[in-house]
Amino acid sequence: MPADGSDFNRRPAHGVPAGRAGTPALAATRALSLHARLVARDERALAELIETITPWLLGITQALLSDAAEAEDVVQETFTTVWNRIGQVPTESRGLLAWILRAARNRAIDRLRSRKRRVMKSARLAVHGMDGEPFAAAEEPDEAGTAGWHVHRTVHAALEALPREQQVVVWLAYFSGLTQSQIGARLGIPIGTVKTRLRLAFDKLRLVLGPMKDWIL
């Protein structure tokens, strides 16, 4: 690692790190290499990993926690776990980043539930409501090769393709951390309806997201 750490801050002006032009930033070959370098305790590999995935980790953790500082804490803890337990992370082609995304989300949900902040969260949701689109399209950064942007575009399209009522339950369940009964109470619908909508939505999402495993980490 450079002494001044300047490499860690090298990113475009808008803050989202630049991708590797012309190639999928999260290509399996690179990721496998990244994993192997992490196992070898290569600090530059850690810097690359952090630079690549932190914006996405902050996306899910901030959505769950509604607290930027706490979201950064969760991301920090997640990277520390990855660095200290890299030997336990799956080595399959889509193992590393998927594992990190899941670990960060689980950690954020654990925080959310342990701190009993759901009431606050629900209150915020009630204030903001679900009047707008749950998955409003994000503005694409300047660089077409922003790391992972192509993944985001695919996932986002899959979410947008869901019927509105399924979008809402997926948003509340997956991106707000509510349980099925809380969603039912929030929307005023039976829990059975919540389960059905979630099942239908996830089945559709799996059809789109499942094949991505062949070429993404």
Does residue 34 belong to the site contacting other proteins (CB under 8 A)?
Answer: no
Does residue 138 belong to the site contacting other proteins (CB under 8 A)?
Answer: yes
Number of residues that bind other proteins (CB under 8 A): 73
Applying CB under 8 A, the span of 29-37, 121-129, 141-149 interacting with other proteins comes to: 141-149
Q: Which long-range contacts (CB under 8 A, 24 or more apart) does 29-34 make?
A: 31/93, 31/94, 31/96, 31/97, 31/217, 32/91, 32/93, 34/96
Closest CA to 155 of 170, 176, 177: 170
Site string for other proteins, 79-108 (x = CB under 8 A): xx--x----------x---xx-xx-xxx--
Does residue 124 belong to the site contacting other proteins (CB under 8 A)?
Answer: no
Q: Which of residues 169-208 bind other proteins (CB under 8 A)?
A: 173-175, 177-181, 183, 195, 198-199, 202, 205-206
CA distance 165 to 169: 7
Q: Which of residues 46-75 bind other proteins (CB under 8 A)?
A: 46-47, 50-51, 54-60, 62-63, 72, 75
The SS3 call for residue 196 is: helix
CA distance 10 to 139: 21
